[in-house]
Amino acid sequence: MRNLLDTPHDDFQAWLAERGLPGYRAKQVRRWIFEKRALSFDAMSDLPKKLRTELAEEFTIGSGSVAAHRLAADGTEKLLVQWHDGHKIECVLIRDHDRRTICISTQVGCAMGCVFCASGLDGVERNLTSGEIVEQMLRLQSILPPDERLTNVVVMGMGEPLANLANLLTALDTATSPEGLGLGARRITISTVGLPPAIDRLVERGNHYHLAVSLHAPDDELRTRLVPVNKNIGIEPILAAADRYFESSGRRLTFEYVLLGGLNDRPHHARRLVELLRGRLALLNVIPYNPVAGLPYETPKPADQERFLSILTTGGVNVQVRQRKGDKIDAACGQLRRSHLRLLPEPAPANSVASEELGSSGGV
């Protein structure tokens, strides 16, 4: 069986042509999948019965199953999706006023090794295919009632998106296509630790997605301790690549800074950040750390966080504290998957859905 979400458009057209079928059938199938949220060919009622049968014999719509589905009182929902090979990833739907934002993964695990992150603890297993990336969007969209649509995508889940750039770009082509999810490029954010050659490929492609660069430290010594891949890159080349992206796209840059209690939240860190970001049209997202079981890092003390933010704003940095959503559902990257690796040594049965309604509010 072939995953239709991983089948190039031309291949599917050729498959139809081999059966003497008109090309518009492909458009109909896409409409059923992306607009009408069909999960089976049988639901595609305006296709001939024979074609529906042939499609079901040859193709699947997606290749995963939901191994866990968690809901938080603030409306955040997280899916743990299990692929055909047993690997699992996470993706999240975040409700915020009229926004319906999804956070999706690009790899099983992650090779970047950020010391505070649950996703990177076991390294990277493999890249997700473009179809697996699209499937996360469809599964999260299917949670919404029919009159609600996805509004924003952030590529900030498990994995380093720019380490799987080709598959990601193919998936985002589907997300932005009028025959796909029809999202504007400006509603899509790619978050990266900063891989300059891949950022330059984004410049060449000219899609003008929003770029968010995770800094987490204002100098190379500390950044290499927190984000080991920095050792071979360095902050300056990353900032230079981000500047090139800004010049070509005109899109304001975002820098992410996970604030770790006692580690990167000192006044001298804030002052150095002011120097680094001076003169750049950028937003600094400060994200108070969400503790991960088994890791020794702490949420910053409120007074330290306040002092850190005050130095930044006084220094002219455009800064915001990012709200955390769904803390009680292991919302930090990789936590749900790790809790299942510990709790569910046997893979959950295909198509099983374990839903957990959580009593207390998770949003901060």
Which residues are catalytically annotated?
Answer: 90, 333
One-letter amino acid for residue 251 of the chain: R
Of 121 and 321, nearer to ligand SF4 (C-beta) is 121
Of 60 and 192, nearer to ligand SF4 (C-beta) is 192
Q: Minimum distance from CB of 227 to ligand SF4 (Å)?
A: 6
Q: How far is CA 224 from the centre of its chain?
A: 23
Answer yes or no whether residue 174 interacts with ligand SF4 by CB under 6 A: no
Site string for ligand SF4, 134-173 (x = CB under 6 A): ------------------------xxx-------------
Strand partners, 285: 256, 320
Distance of CA 148 to CAs 67, 100, 218, Å? 24, 8, 40
Q: Candidates 47-55, 82-90, 117-125, 217-225 — which segment interacts with ligand SF4 by CB under 6 A? A: 117-125
Q: Minimum distance from CB of 107 to ligand SF4 (Å)?
A: 8
Nearest Cα to Cα of residue 193 among 129, 116, 265: 116
Distance CA 11, CA 17 (A): 10
Of 16 and 118, nearer to ligand SF4 (C-beta) is 118
Choose which of 44, 61, 102, 114 interacts with ligand SF4 (CB under 6 A).
114
- CA dihedral for 18, 19, 24, 25, sign (positive or negative): negative
**CB 149 within 8 Å of CB 100:** yes
Q: What is the phi/psi pair of residue 65, to 5°?
A: -140, 155
Answer yes or no whether residue 90 interacts with ligand SF4 by CB under 6 A: no
Distance of CA 309 to CAs 149, 263, 273, 299, Å? 35, 15, 11, 15
**CB 69 within 8 Å of CB 354:** yes
Q: Minimum distance from CB of 19 to ligand SF4 (Å)?
A: 43
Q: Minimum distance from CB of 215 to ligand SF4 (Å)?
A: 12
Q: Minimum distance from CB of 296 to ligand SF4 (Å)?
A: 16
Mode of pairing for the β-strands spanning 88-96 and 77-82: antiparallel
Answer yes or no whether residue 104 interacts with ligand SF4 by CB under 6 A: no
**CB 292 within 8 Å of CB 117:** yes
Of 117 and 165, nearer to ligand SF4 (C-beta) is 117
Choose which of 29, 61, 81, 117 interacts with ligand SF4 (CB under 6 A).
117
Answer yes or no whether residue 193 interacts with ligand SF4 by CB under 6 A: yes
Residue 231: count other Cβ atoms within 10 Å of its Cβ.
11
DSSP H stretches of helix in the chain: 9-18, 24-30, 49-58, 130-141, 165-176, 196-205, 220-226, 235-249, 267-277, 302-314, 335-343
Q: Minimum distance from CB of 37 to ligand SF4 (Å)?
A: 28
**How many chain residues touch ligand SF4 (CB under 6 A)?**
12
Q: Candidates 21-29, 106-114, 319-327, 341-349 — which segment interacts with ligand SF4 by CB under 6 A? A: 106-114
Answer yes or no whether residue 288 interacts with ligand SF4 by CB under 6 A: no
Choose which of 3, 82, 101, 119 interacts with ligand SF4 (CB under 6 A).
119
Burial pattern 44-67, b for ≥16 Cβ within 10 A else e, equals beebeeebbebbeeebbbbbbbbb
Answer yes or no whether residue 110 interacts with ligand SF4 by CB under 6 A: yes
Closest residue to ligand SF4 using C-beta atoms = 120
Site string for ligand SF4, 292-321 (x = CB under 6 A): ------------------------------
Answer yes or no whether residue 333 interacts with ligand SF4 by CB under 6 A: yes
Q: Minimum distance from CB of 264 to ligand SF4 (Å)?
A: 14
Contacts to ligand SF4 by CB under 6 A = 110, 112-114, 117, 119-120, 158-160, 193, 333
